[in-house]
Amino acid sequence: MSRDPLISDLIARLLDGLPEDAVLTDPDVTASYSHDMASFCPAGEPAVVVLPRTTEQVQHVMRTATELRVPVVPQGARSGLSGAANASDGCIVLSLIRMDRVLEINAVDRYAVVEPGVINADLSRAVEEKGLCYPPDPSSWEMCTIGGNIGTASGGLCCVKYGVTAEYVLGLKVVLADGRLLTTGRRTAKGVAGYDLTRLFVGSEGSLGVVVEAVLALKPKPPRQLVLAAEFGSAAAAGDAVCRIMEGGHVPSLLELMDRTTLKAVNDLARMGLPEETEALLLAAFDTADPAADLAAVGALCEAAGATQVIPADTPAESELLLKARRLSLIALEAVKGATMIDDVCVPRSRLTEMLEGVERIAAKFQLTIGVCAHAGDGNTHPTVCFDAADPEESRRARESFDEIMALGLELGGTITGEHGVGILKKEWLAREAGPVAMELQRAVKDAFDPLGLLNPGKLF
Amino acid sequence: MSRDPLISDLIARLLDGLPEDAVLTDPDVTASYSHDMASFCPAGEPAVVVLPRTTEQVQHVMRTATELRVPVVPQGARSGLSGAANASDGCIVLSLIRMDRVLEINAVDRYAVVEPGVINADLSRAVEEKGLCYPPDPSSWEMCTIGGNIGTASGGLCCVKYGVTAEYVLGLKVVLADGRLLTTGRRTAKGVAGYDLTRLFVGSEGSLGVVVEAVLALKPKPPRQLVLAAEFGSAAAAGDAVCRIMEGGHVPSLLELMDRTTLKAVNDLARMGLPEETEALLLAAFDTADPAADLAAVGALCEAAGATQVIPADTPAESELLLKARRLSLIALEAVKGATMIDDVCVPRSRLTEMLEGVERIAAKFQLTIGVCAHAGDGNTHPTVCFDAADPEESRRARESFDEIMALGLELGGTITGEHGVGILKKEWLAREAGPVAMELQRAVKDAFDPLGLLNPGKLF
C-alpha cells in the first residue's frame, strides 16, 4: 500500500532528527498507541508514533510538527481515565516513555530531578532507598509515568495527608509547540518570581507544552502506616464517621471507603471473605509516631458514628491485607460486566453521605450496578458504572448515569474531576463547572502557549 | 485649585456606583496611599483612592477604569516590600481593606471563605477558636491582609513545615479588568478541572485581576511548639547544622537563623542579652506530639555540627522569648541606619553557607552593614542592607550591594525572591532569572487577562 505523500514527508522529516527505532509507522503498531484506558472516548489513527530519548529530539518533533502543521498528542503510559492521551486522526503520537531517567535525588534539598517517562513506582522506590518519599500514589502507580501524573495532576490514596501531584512539582523544563525550550520554577523550597507557569502546566493534559524534565519535591520517609477497618450498616453512618474524624483534627495517611457493591465484587474476584452484608467499609491509616493511639481514637469515633465492627491491624502485614481489598476494587468492579466507567467526582467531605446515597438512587434509576470506592477523607468518590460494552442499550444507560453522577457532584458543591482530569470524557462538563468567563480565559491561555492549536487538540475544550 | 476635567469626570463616574465615603480625593490623603514599605521604588500620585465594601462596587470601579482607560493599582495593607502596591501617576488606587469579613469557617471541610481585606492575624485567631489553623504567617501578619498575601504569594516562618500561601488557596472570586466576575477553583480537598487559574492569580501582584473572595484551606491546630536555640562560631557551622537536620528527615515547624550583625542590632534595640560574639544563632521548633524528643535529636545534630551552646526551651513561654529576638530582627536592623533594603533571595538549603559567606564579602566590599536573618530551613535568606537614606553615596552602595546579593543567589541556583515578590524592585531581575522564553509567556498571560494593560501597570515586567 502506497503511503500518503504528506505522511511520507512528515516521516522523512522526523527521521532527520530521530533514530529509526524512535519512529513507528506500522499501522498495526501505531494503532496500539491510539488510546488510554477511558471508556466512551473516540480515538483517531495516528500518522506516526515517535519515542524520543532526549530533549533535543522532542524539540525536533515539535519544530517539525509546527512547520508541517501536524497535531501532536503527548503520551505517558496511557493509563489515564479521561481520554486525554487519545490520538486524533493523522497526529504525531509523542510517547515520552523512553525518557525514563532519574537524574538526581537530593536528600538535603529534598528534591528529585526526573525525566517524564519515569514510572511513579520506580521513583518512589529510588527515593525510599535514600530515606525519602515521593507521596503522590495514583492507583496505577506501578505503571503510570511522572509525565502523565503531571499532565493529569493526578491524586491517589495518600492525598488526604500529603496532597496531590501539583503540590510536588517545583519546576519544569517544557518543549513548547514551536520547539523552544522553556524552564519554569525552581529547585528551592520557596520562590515567587513571576506568574506560576509551573502550576499552569500541571493538569494541562499536554495541551500547553511537552514536559521533558521535572523537579519534584520530596518528603522524609514516614514510619510505616497501620490500618484500621470499620464496618457500617449504612452509607450515612460511614459518612458521619468521616466527618467526625476530620472535624476531630485527625490527619490520617489514608481514609478510604468501599460500598457493599464493591465489597461483593472484590469477594467474587478474590474470595477475600469481606463482610458483604456491610453497607460501607471504612479504612483509616496513620503513619505517625504512635499509630496505634491514633487508630484507637479514630476507632472510637467510628463506633460513636455507629460502626458495627472496628478492626485495627496490629502489624504492617495485617495492614497491607486490609488495603489489598481496596487496591483490587477497580479491577473487581471491571470483572462484574466486563467494562466500567470510573467517575471521580469530588465533593466537600461534609456532603459525602449525600453523594453516596445519590449514586445509589442513580444506580436504581438506570438499573445498573454502580460500585463506589472513595478517597473518603478528601470527599473524592469513584462511582464505577459496570456495564456490558456489547450491549448498546446498557452502554447508553451507563453513559447517562455517568453524566447524572457529575450533575449530582456539582449540585453538592463539588467538582466533576478530583484527580482524573477532563480529557475528552468530561469536556462538556468542564464548561458547565467553570462557566463562560473561566472558559474564555482558559482558551486565551491555550492560545498564548499554542497559537496554532497543535498540542493535543480536542482535549479539555 | 481647579481639578483636571478628566479627573473630575472619573470621580463623578466612580460616585455613580460608590458611596461618597468610599472615594478619597484630597491629595494629602491620597498621597498616603501611594506606596508600600519598599525602599528605592518610585511612586506616582493617584488620581483617586477608592475603598469599596462589595464585589459589585469593585466591578463598578473596574468597569469605569476600562471605559476611561485609567490604570488601577489594587492594594491591601501596603506592608509589601517590593513596591508592588505603589501608585502610578493618575491611577485609581483600589484599596480592599474595607472588604474585611470572614464569611465562613468550616471545620469538617477545613476551609475558610474570606474577603481580601481580612487581616492575616484576625483570620488566624478566628480559625484557632474552632480548633483550626491557617498556617501562612508573614512577619507582618498582625497588619497584612489575606488579599495582599495572595497577591504576593507570601511566606513566613512556618513554611518549612506548612508551605506558603499558594498551597492554601483553593478557589477565588476575581473581578477582571473589564469588570466581569470570574470564579476559579473549588471548595473541595481535590479538583483538577481545567487549567489552574487559581494558582495563576497567587503571586500575580494584582496584575491579572482583583481578588474579592478567597476559599482558603485550613489545617487542624497543631500542639504548641517548643523552641531550641543553638549558637555557632561560624556561619558555615550553622549552615552545616541546617543540612544535617533536613537530611536527617526532621520536620521542624520553624528553622530560623540570625547572624552576628542581627544579634547585635536586636541587643542594641531591646537589650535582650543575646550572645553577640556568636557568629550565628539557629532557632529550631517542633509542634509534634513529643517536641522535647525532637529538640533533643536536633540539639545533638547541632552539637555534631559544632554548636558552642544548645539551649532547649522547656515551656511555650520560654519558646516565645527565644522567638522574640527573631521577630524583632527587621525592626532592629532598620534602627541601625534609619533605612533598610530587605532582600529575600532563596537558595537550595545545601548552598546556605555559601550564601551567608557571600553576603559577608559583599558587605565588606561595599563597606555596609548587612544583617542576615533567614528562614534557614527553606534556604530563604533576608540579607538586610542598612543605610542612611539621606546619604546619596551610601544609598547608591546599598542599591548596588542589593543587586550583587541577587546575582549571588542566582549563581547558587536560587531565586531572586522567595516570598516578597517582584513588584518594581526586582523587575529587571525577574527577566534575568526567568529568561526570554518565560518572559514572553508571562507577558502573553498578562495580555490574555488584561488586554488594555490597566491592572497595576509597570509591576513585574
DSSP string for residues in A82-137:
SSTT---TTPEEEE-TT---EEEEETTTTEEEE-TT-BHHHHHHHHHTTTEE----
For A170, phi then psi, to 5°, come to -90, -35
Distance CA A300, CA A294 (A): 10
One-letter amino acid identity for A333? Answer: L
Cβ–Cβ below 8 Å for B189 and A379 = yes
Q: Which residues of chain A lie closer than 8 angstroms to B152, CB-CB? A: 192
Report angle CA B220, B226, B227 to the nearest 5 degrees: 130
DSSP state of B224: P
Shortest Cα–Cα distance, B83 to chain A (Å) = 14
User: For A418, which DSSP code?
Assistant: S
- Whether B348 sits inside 8 A of A199 (CB atoms) is no
CB-nearest to A155 from B106, B190, B246 is B190
Q: Are B9 and B52 in contact (CB under 8 A)?
A: no
Which residues have a Cβ under 8 Å from the Cβ of B32 and sit 6 or more positions away? none
Measured between CB atoms, which of A188, A378, A380 is closest to B414?
Answer: A188
The three cell numbers locating residue A65 = 510538527
Q: Which residues contact A131 (CB under 8 A, 6 or more apart)?
A: A107, A220, A221, B249
CB contact under 8 A, A415 and B188: yes
> Nine-digit cell at B140?
507582618
Q: Which helix (H) or strand (E) holds B441?
A: helix B427-449
Beta strands B92-95 and B48-50: pairing type?
A: parallel
Spatial distance between the Cα atoms of B445 and B439, rounded to a whole number of angstroms: 10
| H/E segment holding residue A318 | helix A316-337
Give A190's contacts in chain B (Cβ within 8 Å): 155, 159, 164, 346, 375, 378-380, 415, 418-419
Angle at which helix A291-304 crosses helix A235-247, to 10 degrees, equals 130
Cα–Cα distance between B435 and B413 in angstroms, integer?
Answer: 14
Closest residue in chain B to residue A432, using alpha carbons only: B193
Instruction: Please tell me the distance in Å from A282's CA to the nearest CA on chain B.
Output: 17
Instruction: Output the DSSP codes for A190-240.
Output: ----SS-HHHHHTTSTTSS-EEEEEEEE-EEPPPPPEEEEEEESSHHHHHH
Identify any residues that bridge with B98 across adjacent strands, giving them in sequence order: none
Nearest to B441 among A202, A250, A448 (CB): A448
What is the rounded CA–CA span in Å between residue B412 and residue B403?
14
Judged by CB atoms closer than 8 Å, whether chains meet at A192 and B203 is answered as yes
Would you say residue A318 has pLDDT above 90?
no
- From chain B, pick out residues whose CB is under 8 angstroms from the CB of A176: 437
Give A-chain residues touching B164 at CB under 8 angstroms. Answer: 190, 192
- Whose cell is 496490629? That residue is A314
**Residues on chain B touching A206 (C-beta within 8 angstroms):** none
Residues of A in contact with B222 (CB under 8 A): none
Q: Where in chain B is the domain with CATH 3.30.465.10?
A: 102-220
Among the partner residues A152, A183, A251, nearest to B438 by beta-carbon distance: A183
C-alpha B269/C-alpha B257 separation (Å) is 18
How far apart, in whole angstroms, are the C-alpha atoms of residue B281 and residue B275?
9
CA distance A192 to chain B (A): 6
Burial of A178 (0-12, 13-18, 19+ CB in 10 A): middle
* Residue A315: band (very low, low, confident or very high) from pLDDT cuts 50, 70, 90: confident
What's the half-sphere exposure (Cβ side, CA atoms, 13 Å) at B159?
Answer: 27
Percentage of chain A beyond pLDDT 90 is: 93
Q: Do A188 and B418 touch (CB under 8 A)?
A: yes
Over residues A52-78, the pLDDT tens digits come to 999 999 999 999 999 999 999 999 999
In this structure, chain A runs to a length of 461
Q: Is pLDDT of A43 > 60?
A: yes
pLDDT higher at A401 or B5:
A401
> Residue B215 forms beta bridges with which residues?
B113, B171
Q: Tell me the C-alpha to C-alpha distance, in Å, between residue A434 and each of B25, B28, B55, B150.
A: 39, 44, 19, 21
* Least CB–CB distance from B192: residue in A191, A197, A418: A418
Which DSSP category does B102 fall into?
A: E
pLDDT of residue B2: 62
Neighbours of A2 (CB within 10 A): 5
Q: pLDDT band for position A245 (50/70/90)? A: very high
HSE of B359, CA atoms in CB hemisphere, 13 A: 32
Residues of chain B contacting A154 with CB distance shorter than 8 Å: 192
List every span in chain A annotated with CATH 3.40.462.10. Answer: 226-411
Please state, in angstroms and rounded to a whole number, the distance separating the CA atoms of residues A51 and B141.
Answer: 51
Least CB-CB distance to B191: which of A181, A187, A415?
Answer: A415
Paired sense of beta strands A72-75 and A92-95, if any: parallel
CATH topology of domain B226-411: Vanillyl-alcohol Oxidase; Chain A, domain 3 (3.40.462)
Put simply, the answer to whether B153 touches A192 (Cβ < 8 Å) is: yes
**Burial class (CB within 10 angstroms; exposed 0-12, middle 13-18, buried 19+) of B4:** exposed
Domain span(s) for CATH 3.30.43.10 in chain A: 5-95
Q: What is the predicted pLDDT for the residue at B275?
A: 86
Q: Which residues contact B422 (CB under 8 A, 6 or more apart)?
A: A192, A193, A194, B82, B84, B205, B416, B429, B430, B459, B460
- For B105, which residue in chain A has the nearest alpha carbon? A247
**C-beta neighbour count of A37 within 10 angstroms:** 16
User: What's the CATH number for B102-220?
Assistant: 3.30.465.10
Q: Quote the cell numbers at residue A427.
A: 469536556
Domain A5-95 has CATH 2.60.40.1730: no
Q: What pLDDT was estimated at residue A2?
A: 61
* CB B406, CB B343: distance < 8 Å: yes
- CB-based burial of residue B20 (10 Å sphere; 0-12 exposed, 13-18 middle, 19+ buried)? exposed
User: Chain A partners of B200 at a C-beta cutoff of 8 Å?
Assistant: 195-196, 199-200, 445
Question: Which residues on chain A are in Cβ contact (under 8 Å) with B210?
Answer: none
Q: By three-state DSSP, how is residue A323 classified?
A: helix
Q: How far apart are CA B291 and CA B289, in angstroms?
A: 6
Contacts of A317 (CB under 8 A, 6+ apart): none
Residue B129, number of CB atoms within 10 A of its CB: 9
Our measurement of the distance from residue B132's CA atom to the centroid of its chain's CA atoms, rounded to an integer in Å, reads: 22
Cell 558555615, residue?
B236
Kindly determine whether residue B441 and residue A449, on different chains, have CB atoms separated by under 8 Å.
Answer: yes
Of A187, A249, A375, the CB nearest to B220: A249
Cell of A365: 434509576
Nearest to A44 by CA among A89, A93, A95: A89
Closest CA to B446 of A104, A78, A445: A445
Predicted local confidence at residue A314, as pLDDT: 85
pLDDT tens digits for A349-394?
999 999 999 999 999 999 999 999 999 999 999 999 999 999 999 9
Rg over alpha carbons for chain B, rounded to the nearest Å, is: 23
Longest dimension (CA), chain A: 72
CB-based contact A196 B203, cutoff 8 Å: yes
Q: Using alpha carbons only, how large is chain A's radius of gyration in Å? A: 23
Q: Which residues of chain B have pLDDT under 70?
A: 1-2
* pLDDT confidence of residue A459: 97
Residues of chain B with C-beta less than 8 angstroms from the C-beta of A251:
220
At B364, list the grid cell.
565588606
Q: What is the pLDDT of residue A49?
A: 98
